[in-house]
Structure 1
Amino acid sequence: MHLRRIEMRGFRRSDGLYEIEARLRDSKPFDQELARAGRVVPAGEPIHDLGMRLVFDGDYTVRAVQAFADAAPYTECPQAGAALQALVGLRMVAGWNKAVRERLANAANCTHLKELLGPIATTAFQSLVTEFPERTEAADAKGRPLQIGTCYAYRAEGEVVLRNWPRFHRS
């Protein structure tokens, strides 16, 4: 009944910054009448084909954001990308999703673009993991790796922790 594709791509730029390009594409396998928009979107054609390019530095600080809309249901939709400028200066670290909700809390933004911002942060992290491998070994003051407890695989009771950091394993 509905197909949503989300694609995220991370890049190292020649100016020393990094960029994530995020795209969301919605389509239907049948002609979709958009009565409020006064048009029909043919089967397989995008109802939404939009996204953003988010530029950030090695500390995950957002330096620039540019939205694009190659297809949108309403002629007003592309203008909503301007609200993303509120993210410039924000860091993609713990608390990112909460800060995004606070900064993009009103109707001046696009719901679909906002939905891309959570996965953008994790894509940024995955993009830089090979650039800064020492960050994956970061530990707290007691030497406990910060990765422990961040996901199912890194749970303190799990096999990964037992194998890699046995002194921090809990049974």
Structure 2
Amino acid sequence: MSPSIPAPAWRKPLHHRHIATSGFARNDGLFDIEGQLQDISPDGTDLIFRTVPAGTPIHDLRIVLTVDRELVIRGARARIESGPTIYCPEIESAYAALSGMRIGPGFKREVKARLGGVQGCTHLTELVSVLATTAMQTIFALLRTERGSRRPADEQGPMPKPTLVNSCHTHRIDGEAVKVLWPEHRRGAAR
């Protein structure tokens, strides 16, 4: 059992960041992956370009990525409902540059190349990385539904290496979880 996090001393909230994401199946066979990021000051704040009342978002950003089953982005729409300046929404259309990209190895690096620095909004670009994980979880949910109660070990024949292999400590190639996820008898030549 993991050690618990010690109870903190008294503390006063100064900033809240809320990130919420969801994945949806569409009736055209594609998937919408939606995300929202909000930064809120409980006491309000006086910014250079505007005053933000207590409990009102400094940032309220939204992105919708439309992806296919192979996690290729077919469309991307960004919206800045609220930002620290009136100039922030000028960058929304830049996120169309995500179209055609595949979510997988190297995705974050490519997003940074296309939308890093002055080519994008720091917070929207950060949200894209969170949406990539949500997109993968959405497709995993679909595959679990399609697979039903069958497990990889119950089937025969080679299967491609799952994208989870070597993605984290638990899913390392030599770990116990991968023996279940990608059984030896199913690996074939695709090691």
Q: Which of the five TM-score ranges fits, normalised by the shorter chain? A: 0.7 to 0.9
Residues in 1 aligned to 2:180 and 2:22: alpha-carbon distance in whole angstroms:
32
TM-score (norm 1): 0.83
Q: Is the contact between residue 116 and residue 122 of structure 2 (CA under 8 Å) also seen in structure 1? A: no
Corresponding residue to 1:88 among 81, 99, 112:
99
- What is the CA distance between 1:81 and its match in structure 2? 1.2
Is 2:40 the partner of 1:23? no
Unaligned residue ranges in structure 1 (runs of 5+) = none
- Identify which range, 125-134 or 42-51, moves more after superposition: 125-134
Distance 1:108 1:167, change over 3 A: closer
- What is the CA distance between 1:158 and its match in structure 2? 3.9
- What is the CA distance between 1:145 and its match in structure 2? 4.5
Unaligned residue ranges in structure 2 (runs of 5+) = 1-13, 153-157, 186-191
Three-state SS of the structure 2 residue aligned to 1:64 is strand
- What is the CA distance between 1:156 and its match in structure 2? 4.3
TM-score (norm 2): 0.75
Residues in 2 aligned to 1:125 and 1:144: alpha-carbon distance in whole angstroms:
16
Residues in 2 aligned to 1:159 and 1:48: alpha-carbon distance in whole angstroms:
42
Residues in 2 aligned to 1:16 and 1:143: alpha-carbon distance in whole angstroms:
24
Distance 1:145 1:61, change over 3 A: closer
**Aligned equivalent of 1:59:** 70
Residues in 1 aligned to 2:133 and 2:76: alpha-carbon distance in whole angstroms:
17
Distance 1:108 1:21, change over 3 A: same
- What is the CA distance between 1:91 and its match in structure 2? 0.7
Higher Cα Rg: structure 1 or 2? 2
CA RMSD of aligned residues (A): 2.5
**Aligned equivalent of 2:132:** 121
**Aligned equivalent of 1:149:** 166
